[in-house]
A and B are shown apart, each in its own frame.
Chain A
């Protein structure tokens, strides 16, 4: 029989208002094994903790029950108290009488008996607890960053600068991400490339960073501190180590009709290409769908022209396997598909463009060399209409997203001002629902567009954009403030399309057992207190993969994710959770049911010689790898012979709790 102490917390009035805490302590005294029971205002305070520690020593307690808040909140706190007082921390049980009792009931008549019942079950369980020992696992001192945009770049640099090895896996042929497609950045109007390319170069030259571009994560196994990742290095058909980046192959390539993804399809590129001039690495790839050699077996002009014989049409995808202690997901975003917004004539007219397409048009390295032009006839527009919230704040999930994309109000003001700076005669109209500008110097920035640049902001959405015979676009909307129809013959219409997480995140989330929300953004371990950690230990997040945000926020979060990774990699060993499954070889009948239900691949089978009642026998027996087991308990429920038990949550302990509830 244990010697149990029961400690009932008031949590100020959080518990005490609807639970008679003294009555709970009094009831505890008559429970089997209980030698001491008391209540206190704040059990988690220093005084409360001392009360528990002192009682352990004074009454020679072998087990402790704390009736307080959720174990998610303070189980760790009270286990530490026990440990310091010389008691095995797994001899502590929490009865949650706050979230599951006092907070959901209005009066003590219901709250108190329920709290007593919860206390009794915890006592019944702790009577059967046994001391458990935490194990140790090693930490591989290397981090993996998935995604090579500004989020991934900054996270990698911060980790590498702290002295740890970092690998970046980037799907496209170059790092740089969305930021490399932007012209200027708000609210300071720095040139996006000018501030990004030095960072890209730093990544390429950093002794601690290895770049895997044109590569994708193929599989992930293992656990915090010891992940094993397979990376598919897609065939570039150009040897990275030989290519000098002279670019002659691209100049000579006769296949020039492939869609230029970097310019959002506004122009074309060659079949052998780098996405943009400052690409890192500056090594082209061959697009096999566009390449004449791959389609017909002829051509071969690039290979003939390559002075260093870097081109290799026979190159194959390569799978490399690497170990990591931590993984950062930084897969970024794209704009939603604008095709379902037929009323804006996006499908009908090349002069209706997305905001990112306009960004490319304004960029000196873009399809128009930075000249503001209509894509249809290359005329410079005189009237321009910007439409905000295209697909943002939209409950219709067939074409939009319910959230605010956060960056559109600011980049629209930016684009409007950049245009007015270069082309003062252009009239700009912005149809908006609300102008949202929280951020340092943000509202001032937007007001400048209105007051200094004369940008015309119209409250209301646009109903229809109709191409006209003269090549203009008739924009039909309503000014909700003066209740009048507004019709503008625009030369160009720009749609501020909603952002959405890169669709690859679904595949990655499955590989990494991450939780994603309804909009495919990653869920944090805690939205406020653990905002850069995923629920899976050892996995962190950076950038828009978590939710819409701008560049400074992304960079700040990248630093936060990096310090979390560094904190993990700085450790030589990690404590492992002792509450893992264990198979009793005498009961195991080798049926494999547990192996089939285990989501973590922690169970394997071996042939083992056992002695059963003095008889030697060779049997097929389940074995649990404690490093892989997460303690979910699926196997112990599925096991038909009762051989599987979860330490700390054994079948006997659970049944003791159930019996206590039912036998009242």
Chain B
């Protein structure tokens, strides 16, 4: 773990307020995740990645963009580790460093239709921009 990774780790833990040492590797988060197959690093791996400080790997993972934020893992985690919050914390740390968005503004118009609700666009903006 580099010094920079240690700093990122500290920032992520501050953002999400979770305690990764409580994880007992039961896999309930992964089993509850509707987007499990869209993830390269699985929800149950987040606690140990963060414990080890492998922050660059986490920040480059597909997982942080593919998480739905559905809170199923947060709700069902028997140890109150709340992996969804860890994932969100890493995403925020990534967004703050990249400065931009995951989807570029020019990507948006082609993806919306007359029914697209504001709620959807707002959610994407909030999740993908600082």
Contacts and interface: CB of A to CB of B under 8 A. Distances in A.
Direct A–B contact present (CB less than 8 angstroms)? yes
Interface of A: 343, 389, 393-396, 400, 433, 459-464, 476-478, 480, 483, 485
A344 B28 CA distance: 12
B42 interface: yes
Contacts of B80: 395-396
Contact of B27 (A343, A393, A400, A461): A461
A389 B31 CA distance: 15
B32 A463 contact: yes
B30 interface: yes
B65 interface: no
A480 B37 CA distance: 13
Contacts of A477: 27, 31
Given A461-B27, A461-B31, A478-B31, A395 B76 contact: no
A109 B106 CA distance: 72
A460 B26 contact: yes
A178 B79 CA distance: 29
B36 interface: yes
Contacts of B77: 396
Interface string B68-83: 0000100011111000
B44 interface: yes
Given A460-B30, A463-B76, 13 more contacts: A389-B78, A394-B79, A395-B80, A433-B27, A461-B31, A463-B28, A463-B31, A463-B72, A477-B27, A477-B31, A480-B30, A483-B42, A485-B36
Nearest to A390: B78
Contacts of B72: 463
Contacts of B96: none
Interface in B86-100: none
Contacts of B28: 461, 463
Contacts of B32: 343, 463-464
Nearest to A460: B27
Contacts of A463: 28, 30-33, 72, 76
Contacts of A459: 27
A459 B30 CA distance: 12
Contact of A396 (B24, B44, B78): B78
B57 to A, nearest CB: 15
B37 A343 contact: no
Nearest to A464: B32
Interface in B1-47: 22, 24-28, 30-33, 36-37, 42, 44
A407 to B, nearest CB: 19
A483 B25 CA distance: 13
A345 to B, nearest CB: 14
Contacts of A389: 26, 78
7 contacts: A343-B32, A395-B79, A395-B80, A463-B32, A478-B36, A480-B30, A480-B44
A462 B30 CA distance: 9
B24 A460 contact: no
A518 to B, nearest CB: 16
Nearest to A388: B26
B36 to A, nearest CB: 6
A464 B37 CA distance: 16
Nearest to A481: B27
Contacts of B25: 433, 480
B31 A476 contact: yes
A459 B22 CA distance: 18
Contact of A480 (B27, B33, B78, B79): B27
A463 B25 CA distance: 14
Contacts of B30: 460, 463, 478, 480
User: By CB atoms of chain A within 10 A, which of B32, B44, B80 has the most?
Assistant: B32
B80 to A, nearest CB: 5
B79 A461 contact: no
A396 B80 CA distance: 7
The interface centre, meaning the residue of A393, A461, A464 with most chain B CB atoms within 10 A of its CB, is A461
A396 B79 CA distance: 7
A433 B44 contact: no
Contacts of B76: 343, 463
A480 B28 CA distance: 10
A394 B22 CA distance: 11
Contacts of B33: 463
Nearest to B79: A395
A395 B22 CA distance: 10
A396 B77 CA distance: 8
A18 B32 CA distance: 54
Given A394-B78, A396-B78, A462 B31 contact: yes
Contact of B78 (A393, A462, A464, A485): A393
Interface in B40-65: 42, 44
B24 A393 contact: yes
A476 B22 CA distance: 24
Nearest to A399: B78
Contacts of A462: 31
Contacts of A343: 32, 76
A464 B73 CA distance: 12
A438 B80 CA distance: 27
Contact of A478 (B24, B27, B78, B79): B27
Contacts of B24: 393, 433
Contact of A461 (B22, B26, B36, B42): B26
A512 to B, nearest CB: 33
Contacts of A394: 78-79
B19 to A, nearest CB: 10
A460 B44 CA distance: 10
A453 B36 CA distance: 31
A399 to B, nearest CB: 9
A463 B43 CA distance: 13
Contacts of B22: 395
A647 to B, nearest CB: 50
Contacts of A396: 77-78, 80
Contacts of A393: 24, 26, 78-79
B6 to A, nearest CB: 27
A478 B25 CA distance: 12
A484 to B, nearest CB: 9
A483 B44 CA distance: 10
A462 B37 CA distance: 16
Nearest to B43: A478
A591 to B, nearest CB: 51
Contacts of B42: 478, 483
Contacts of B44: 478, 480
A546 B25 CA distance: 28
A389 B79 CA distance: 12
A477 B42 CA distance: 13
Contacts of B37: 485
Nearest to A392: B78
A485 B33 CA distance: 10
A478 B26 CA distance: 10
A328 to B, nearest CB: 34
